[in-house]
């Protein structure tokens, strides 16, 4: 379940994809841990990595839709993109970040109507180019309605762009920067590409103290022609949101990679440290920490992997991915924080040392839930799906495992972003009723009480305006969805029952925690409080199951991976 780069052969991939993954691992292992850390501390721009990417045509192969390349191995394939995400997250989020931002920058281009820019972009990727996504602004963040970047039509034809963008990764070295703006005369939305090498492009500053470059840039009377415009009006608006739909996946997989590397470091440290005549891993509470961390990390990967299947199977008639996407972005990344907290409680002060992976991982893991919108923003989106998910199921063909080498055409033809509340889902009970394990059975009881809550004690108008109240309720909803996809993926991969049941041990505890939060709200009603108490349940105490997971999955990772020095 946990990536070990020195053992993983990527046999599920085609030969070219396999070669890319293994060469990337080789690059980092040859570079060595000490050089990676030195570059991080000295904030060295990772030109060596970008040279490697260029030499091996990695971004060109992985991020060019097949119709814009004559190479049969070139395609936009979400499954292998996630494999690459995991590797980069494992070795350093800085490297992952330049890849992630490139994906965002490419989104409006591949989704737009400008075929010449698409052909140009394919050529720039072949040359090793990286890309940037000029969306957010200093005073407005990602509030697109308030965008102050303006495109002004000129009497003699063409336009000039004026304004600034803030917190834009790669904008120092990007081949092109996809920039979101408004027409100053019509207030119509527009996406265009800008060239950082142009004299009217002002690279103001790097707004973070980090190895990556997260820019503030300004366009001052920057000339734009129709040849630079990607989309306008509602299509530009939809491109911005649909690009984030595509990019959201990467954050969860980056978190999975960080947690995997951190787990190896923590378990090896604890297993070989003797205190008071015992190894640290002999203490029962340490075993609990590691087993919980392993189960949460396994659940992250199970959910994110299954979400890939829905994303690759999406169509205008099946948009279930729009629930699972923000959950990979929000739920998986916040679970990554939980994993890191558990591991940090084990290795304690060592996590601050400058010569361990953990030092940068604890910083990086906090960033992921906060990129492309806060947890609150994503939860507000997720709640829109709740009524149909629970009470209005539809029938869909069963989605199989989708790791075949194919271009994901629909991702760049998603269409309008409206109507989220109308999206239907298959009956989640199909997954839950396919398994009878002690903790899953208890979790089913919690789900039934939640449904009763939504039917008989749903939030009042005032509570519906209280985002803090809805956040706790949304957490309960997301746990149900999380469990559904975990079960589906577990069945596909023939996951051992003990590991699956131990995953639902923490799921029950989390469900109880959020129910208690709603109970404790100052505005919760008597009926809501009564039902919240019914949701609070205790997992089955099965020491045999716990010890099997601890011994077979977590403890055995001691001394199984260490990055080359």
pLDDT-based confidence at residue 372 (cuts at 50, 70, 90): low
The domain boundary, picked from 214, 233, 252, lies at 233
Q: Are residues 105 and 142 in the same domain?
A: no
Distance, in Å, from the CA atom of 536 to the CA atom of 514, rounded to the nearest integer, reads: 9
Q: What angle do CA 44, 50, 55 make, to 5 degrees?
A: 145
Answer whether residue 512 is part of any domain: yes
Name the phi and psi angles at 518, rounded to 5: -65, -40
Count of CB atoms within 10 A of residue 210's CB? 18
pLDDT-based confidence at residue 99 (cuts at 50, 70, 90): very high
Q: Structurally, how many domains does the chain consist of?
A: 3
pLDDT at 374: 60
pLDDT at 431: 98
Q: Are residues 41 and 52 in the same domain?
A: yes
Answer whether residue 420 is part of any domain: no
Lowest mean pLDDT among 140-154, 186-200, 251-265: 140-154
Q: pTM higher than 0.85 for the full model? A: yes
Structure-derived torsion over alpha carbons of residues 388, 111, 207, 144, reported in degrees to the nearest 10: -50
Token pair in block for residue 283: 């203490």
Answer whether residue 311 is part of any domain: no
Q: Is the pLDDT of residue 294 over 90?
A: yes
pLDDT at 466: 87
Task: Give 54: exposed, middle or buried? Use CB within 10 Å, 0-12, 13-18, 19+.
Answer: middle
Strand pairing of 278-279 and 201-206?
unpaired
Compute the average pLDDT of residues 110-134: 98
Distance, in Å, from the CA atom of 413 to the CA atom of 490, rounded to the nearest integer, reads: 31
Q: Are residues 117 and 149 in the same domain?
A: no
User: Residue 307's closest CA among 253, 383, 260?
Assistant: 253
pLDDT at 468: 86
Question: Which of 493-497's residues contact partners 24+ apart within 8 Å by CB, and which partners?
Answer: 493/302, 495/302, 497/437
Q: Are residues 73 and 187 in the same domain?
A: no
Q: Are residues 112 and 198 in the same domain?
A: no
Write out pLDDT tens, residues 66-85: 999 999 999 999 999 999 99
State whether the Cα torsion 540-543-546-548 is positive or negative. negative
Write out pLDDT tens, residues 389-413: 999 999 999 999 999 999 999 999 9
pLDDT-based confidence at residue 547 (cuts at 50, 70, 90): very high
Answer whether residue 528 is part of any domain: yes
Compute the average pLDDT of residues 361-385: 81
Q: Is the pLDDT of residue 559 over 60?
A: yes
Write out pLDDT tens, residues 493-518: 999 999 999 999 999 999 999 999 99
Write out pLDDT tens, residues 449-487: 999 999 999 999 899 888 889 889 999 999 999 999 999
State whether the Cα torsion 538-541-547-552 is positive or negative. negative
Write out pLDDT tens, residues 137-159: 998 877 788 889 999 999 999 99
Q: Are residues 33 and 147 in the same domain?
A: no
Percent of the chain topping pLDDT 70 = 99
Count of CB atoms within 10 A of residue 288's CB? 13
Q: Are residues 27 and 41 in the same domain?
A: yes
Name the phi and psi angles at 59, rounded to 5: -65, -35
Residue with tokens 């208890």: 442
pLDDT at 560: 98
Mean pLDDT (the chain) is 95
Answer whether residue 9 is part of any domain: no
Answer whether residue 215 is part of any domain: yes
Q: Is the pLDDT of residue 249 over 60?
A: yes
Length of the chain: 565
Q: Are residues 21 and 154 in the same domain?
A: no
> In CATH, what number is assigned to the domain containing residue 63?
1.10.540.10
Q: Is the pLDDT of residue 35 over 90?
A: yes
> In CATH, what number is assigned to the domain containing residue 215?
2.40.110.10
pLDDT-based confidence at residue 371 (cuts at 50, 70, 90): confident
Count of CB atoms within 10 A of residue 416's CB? 12
Percent of the chain topping pLDDT 90 = 90
Q: Are residues 205 and 126 in the same domain?
A: no
Q: What does the radius of gyration of the chain's CA atoms come to, in whole angstroms?
A: 24
The domain boundary, picked from 233, 253, 287, lies at 233
Q: Give the structural domain span for 180.
A: 132-233
pLDDT at 247: 87
Q: Are residues 436 and 540 in the same domain?
A: yes
Q: Are residues 59 and 84 in the same domain?
A: yes
The domain boundary, picked from 86, 112, 130, lies at 130
Answer whether residue 343 is part of any domain: no
In 124-228, the DSSP E strands lie at 131-134, 150-153, 159-169, 176-183, 189-194, 201-206, 214-224
Q: Do residues 336 and 255 lie in contact, with contact meaning Cβ atoms separated by under 8 Å?
A: yes
Answer whether residue 157 is part of any domain: yes
Q: Are residues 121 and 173 in the same domain?
A: no
Token pair in block for residue 339: 């994993």
């Amino acid at each position: 379940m946990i990536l070990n780069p020195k053992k993983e052969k990527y046999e599920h991939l085609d030969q070219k994809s396999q070669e890319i993954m293994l060469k990337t691992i080789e690059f980092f292992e040859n570079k060595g841990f000490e050089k990676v850390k030195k570059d991080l501390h000295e904030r060295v721009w990772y030109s060596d990595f970008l040279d490697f990417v260029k030499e091996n045509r990695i971004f060109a192969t992985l991020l060019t839709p097949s119709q814009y390349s004559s190479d049969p191995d070139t395609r936009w394939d979400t499954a292998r993109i996630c494999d690459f995400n995991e590797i980069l997250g494992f070795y350093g989020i800085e490297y992952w970040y330049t890849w992630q931002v490139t994906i965002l920058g490419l989104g409006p281009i591949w989704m737009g109507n400008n075929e010449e820019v698409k052909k140009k972009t394919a050529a720039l990727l072949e040359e090793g180019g990286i890309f940037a996504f000029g969306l957010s602004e200093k005073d407005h963040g990602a509030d697109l309605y308030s965008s102050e970047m303006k495109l002004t039509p000129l009497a003699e034809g063409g336009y000039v762009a004026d304004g600034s963008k803030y917190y834009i990764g790669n904008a120092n070295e990007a081949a092109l920067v996809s920039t979101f703006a408004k027409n100053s005369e019509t207030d119509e939305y527009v996406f265009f590409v800008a060239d950082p090498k142009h004299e009217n492009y002002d690279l103001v500053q790097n707004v973070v103290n980090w190895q990556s470059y997260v820019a503030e840039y300004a366009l001052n009377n920057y000339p734009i022609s129709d040849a630079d415009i990607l989309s306008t009006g509602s299509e530009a608006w939809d491109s911005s949101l649909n690009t984030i739909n595509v990019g959201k996946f990467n954050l969860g997989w980056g978190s999975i990679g960080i947690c995997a590397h951190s787990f190896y470091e923590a378990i090896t440290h604890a297993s070989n440290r003797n205190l008071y005549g015992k190894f640290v891993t002999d203490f029962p509470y340490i075993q609990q920490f590691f087993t919980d961390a392993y189960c949460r990390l396994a659940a992250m990967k199970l959910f994110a992997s299954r979400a890939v299947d829905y994303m690759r199977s999406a169509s205008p008639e099946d948009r279930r991915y729009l629930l699972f996407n923000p959950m990979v972005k929000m739920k998986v990344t916040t679970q990554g924080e939980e994993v890191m907290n558990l591991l940090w409680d084990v290795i304690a002060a060592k996590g601050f040392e400058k010569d361990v992976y953990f030092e940068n991982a604890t910083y990086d893991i906090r960033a992921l839930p906060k990129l492309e919108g806060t947890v609150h923003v994503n939860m507000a989106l997720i709640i829109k799906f709740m009524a149909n998910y629970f009470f209005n199921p539809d029938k869909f063909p069963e989605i199989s495992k989708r790791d075949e080498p194919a271009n994901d055409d629909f991702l760049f033809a998603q269409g309008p972003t409206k109507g989220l509340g109308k999206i239907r889902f298959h009956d989640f009970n199909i997954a839950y009723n396919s398994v009878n394990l002690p903790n899953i059975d208890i979790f089913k009881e919690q789900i039934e009480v939640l449904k009763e809550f939504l039917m008989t004690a749903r939030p009042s108008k005032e509570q519906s305006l209280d985002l803090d109240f809805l956040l706790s309720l949304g957490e309960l909803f997301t746990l149900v969805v999380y469990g559904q996809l975990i079960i589906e993926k577990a069945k596909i991969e023939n996951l051992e029952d003990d590991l699956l049941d131990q995953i639902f041990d923490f799921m029950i505890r989390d469900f109880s925690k959020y129910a208690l939060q709603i109970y404790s709200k100052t505005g919760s009603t008597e009926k809501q409080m009564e039902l919240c108490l019914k949701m609070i349940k205790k997992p089955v105490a099965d020491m045999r199951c716990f010890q099997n997971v601890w011994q077979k999955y977590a403890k055995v990772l001691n001394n199984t991976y260490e990055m080359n020095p």
